[in-house]
Structure 1
Amino acid sequence: MQGFEFMDQSASIPKRGYLYVALGALLWAISGSSAKFLFQQGVTPFDLAQARVTLASVLLFLWLLLHRPSLLRISYKDIAYFVVLGVAGMAMVHLTYFLAISKIKVAAAILLQYQAPVLIALYGVIVAKENLTRYTVLAILGAIAGCYLVVGAYNLDLLTLNREGVIYGLLSAMAFGGYSVYGERGMRRYDPWTVLFYALLIAAIFWNSVHPLWNAAPPPFASVLRSYSPVQWAWILYIVVLGTILPFGLYFQGINLIRSTRASITATLEPITAGVISYIFLRESLSSLQILGAILVIGAIVLLQLRQEYDDKTPALIRARSNTAKAA
């Protein structure tokens, strides 16, 4: 984790940011297949979401306490910020997505969730009054079109989808977009690992309050304390570490260096990676349109890379300036 720290303002910074997000998308895709296995074994999505954020917050706390205890310090005045990020961001990303896939097909839910780059870009232009370059617009369009093809949305009758499921899917996109933008805001003051830890902690408190009521289970931590088989526990821990702590950490490190719009575009590599994994390990075929979609997404990311945009509003640079000013 220490190797992810902001070092300088060289041209390599954007490359590292894209690399972090790409690695995070790869880990998310692999953990998705692992979660599917657990669902087939009787673990519910709600149980997994609760166990995921609860154990992730505990493990990340222990790591920070032993290796970087200074990152656990926050100002009392920022507690409200982290509550909003943890509940409206981290917790809602899981809840709305799971509700979406309970009403509509997974492919449609993924397509709706990955409208987040559009929402983030609109926020930047309308609310933050930022300029959007033509290359970023092209990259967003390419990524969305590519995602549409990769998930096979052309096989879905989108007009006949369950309306409630579509609403949950769009809320999922809003939660993911809000989580990205709001997380970026916090990283102007705090290290990405600090922001991630408190987002996970608040999400864990939320899930352990809401989940027992949702499932009529009496005690908090019900899913975490449940007696799973050793194989199930192995996959749960895999998802906690390699499907939650590392990919979310890498995603935040990416936002830290390239900001939320570019990071969210790069994250559309997740469905591509999932498709390739299914092709290799599950022998699921990829149609020519899906391959074209993958090319479009990769092309969108390459387009951003070719521009080598260095943004002086990245959280890493803002924190560096603030620390320099304090030292002076």
Structure 2
Amino acid sequence: MGYVYVLIAATLWGLLGSFSKLAFQEGITPLEVAFWRAAIGSVLFGAHALLLRQAKVAPRDLVAVLGFGLLGISVFYAAYQFAVQAGGAALAAVLLYTAPALVALLAWPLLHERMTAGKLAALGLTLLGVAAISLQGGEVRLSAAALLWGMLSAFTYALYYIFGKLYLSRYSTPTIFLYALPVGALGLFPLVQFETKSLLAWGALLFIASLATYGANLAYYAGLRRLEATRAAVVATFEPVVAAGVAFAWWGERFGPLGYVGAGLVLLGLLVLTLEGRRR
């Protein structure tokens, strides 16, 4: 069941790009999309936590939760946008999805999760697949700034998996995001240039916040409770396959042959991981 939850989350996250593109088309900047995603999401998670009376965080954990808000929300959202600006979307995506490899490395000493041959094979297949999807066609502009921002986005994205494993045993998902998302929104606020928004733009922003953020995170962390961090990280890389399919159907964005090879490698990696999990 853990795999199903993470795949639901990956599907919702996969829709994020197309709905963000709709918001961009309506004149909203990427950083403003990121801000409203955090701000509206904080309202939804806050209401959820208060309704369930799950708003309390022990003082000893408050610094870690608020720090996650800055690193996992503000820095991650901003770093990824700067990576796209400096090196283009393809390179930013490749660097971002080095996160599962970082998770595997971090989970070994921090969470004492075993590094098996199956995990290594699945990681290799999914990373190769994401690289093929991202690099097919177009130009890739490698620079020191693109490398710096891209790896920073990957590192902060990897922290989602590690932080979730360390703190989900103590707190529910709404409790964590009740504190983290407002901090993330406040961290983004000085970077945002606010624009006048159409009804369609607000609709896109509400979808991004309610389903691609609130719904996706609930599903993902439900899966993470049932899976090792490395497994959840690899399964979540199904996201670019969904994103590519929706972008093709909605926006007419086409894969080249290498892109279809990459999608197949990602699916093969998921299959290897799932079969290895059943054998244990």
Give the whole-Å Cα distance in 1 for the aligned partners of 2:72 and 2:3: 22
1:269 equivalent in structure 2? 238
2:142 paired with 1:173: no
Give the whole-Å Cα distance in 2 for the aligned partners of 1:310 and 1:122: 23
Runs of 4 or more, structure 1, over 6 Å off, are none
Aligned partners of 1:97 and 1:169 also within 8 Å:
yes
Specify the code of the residue in structure 1 equivalent to 2:25: Q
Shift of 1:278: 2.1
Aligned partners of 2:26 and 2:198 also within 8 Å:
no
**Residues 123 and 156 of structure 1, relative CA distance in 2, 3 Å threshold:** farther
Specify the code of the residue in structure 2 equivalent to 1:140: L
2:270 paired with 1:301: yes
Give the whole-Å Cα distance in 1 for the aligned partners of 2:206 and 2:31: 16
Larger Cα-atom Rg: 1
Shift of 1:193: 2.9
Equivalent residue in structure 1 for 2:122, among 126, 139, 147: 139
Shift of 1:310: 9.2
Structure 2 unaligned regions, length at least 5: none
Is 104-113 or 179-188 further displaced after alignment? Answer: 179-188
SS at match of 1:257: coil
SS at match of 2:228: helix
Give the whole-Å Cα distance in 1 for the aligned partners of 2:102 and 2:63: 24
Equivalent residue in structure 1 for 2:172, among 182, 191, 200: 191
2:43 paired with 1:74: no
2:27 paired with 1:18: no
Shift of 1:156: 6.0
Give the whole-Å Cα distance in 1 for the aligned partners of 2:222 and 2:96: 21
2:215 equivalent in structure 1? 246
Specify the code of the residue in structure 2 equivalent to 1:249: L
Aligned partners of 2:97 and 2:127 also within 8 Å:
yes
Aligned partners of 1:125 and 1:131 also within 8 Å:
yes
Aligned partners of 1:90 and 1:179 also within 8 Å:
no
2:183 equivalent in structure 1? 202
SS at match of 2:13: helix
Specify the code of the residue in structure 1 equivalent to 2:15: I
1:114 equivalent in structure 2? 97
Structure 1 unaligned regions, length at least 5: 1-15, 218-222, 312-328
Specify the code of the residue in structure 2 equivalent to 1:88: L
Specify the code of the residue in structure 2 equivalent to 1:39: F
Give the whole-Å Cα distance in 2 for the aligned partners of 1:283 and 1:88: 34
Shift of 1:282: 2.8
Shift of 1:239: 0.9
Residues 182-237 of structure 1: CA deviation (Å, up to 9, x unaligned)? 22211121123322332213212322xxx33x35x7xxxxx4xx642222111111
Aligned partners of 2:136 and 2:258 also within 8 Å:
no
Give the whole-Å Cα distance in 2 for the aligned partners of 1:310 and 1:182: 27
1:321 equivalent in structure 2? none
Specify the code of the residue in structure 2 equivalent to 1:300: G
Give the whole-Å Cα distance in 1 for the aligned partners of 2:220 and 2:110: 23
Aligned partners of 1:183 and 1:195 also within 8 Å:
no
2:251 paired with 1:287: no
Shift of 1:43: 0.8
Is 36-45 or 190-199 further displaced after alignment? Answer: 190-199
Give the whole-Å Cα distance in 2 for the aligned partners of 1:267 and 1:128: 19
Give the whole-Å Cα distance in 1 for the aligned partners of 2:102 and 2:174: 25
Give the whole-Å Cα distance in 1 for the aligned partners of 2:24 and 2:272: 37
1:318 equivalent in structure 2? none
**Residues 44 and 265 of structure 1, relative CA distance in 2, 3 Å threshold:** same
Q: Which of the pair has the greater relative contact order for Cα pairs under 8 Å at 6+ separation?
A: 2
**Residues 137 and 53 of structure 1, relative CA distance in 2, 3 Å threshold:** same
Query: What's the TM-score, normalizing by structure 1?
Result: 0.79
**Residues 39 and 281 of structure 1, relative CA distance in 2, 3 Å threshold:** closer
Shift of 1:290: 1.5
Question: Cα RMSD between the aligned structures?
Answer: 2.1
2:50 equivalent in structure 1? 65
Shift of 1:148: 0.8
Residues 62-90 of structure 1: CA deviation (Å, up to 9, x unaligned)? 23323x12x21221221101111111122
Give the whole-Å Cα distance in 1 for the aligned partners of 2:133 and 2:179: 34
**Count, aligned residues:** 280
SS at match of 1:46: helix
Equivalent residue in structure 1 for 2:21, among 18, 23, 36: 36
**Residues 200 and 190 of structure 1, relative CA distance in 2, 3 Å threshold:** same
Aligned partners of 2:122 and 2:234 also within 8 Å:
yes
Query: What's the TM-score, normalizing by structure 2?
Result: 0.92
2:40 paired with 1:47: no
SS at match of 1:276: helix
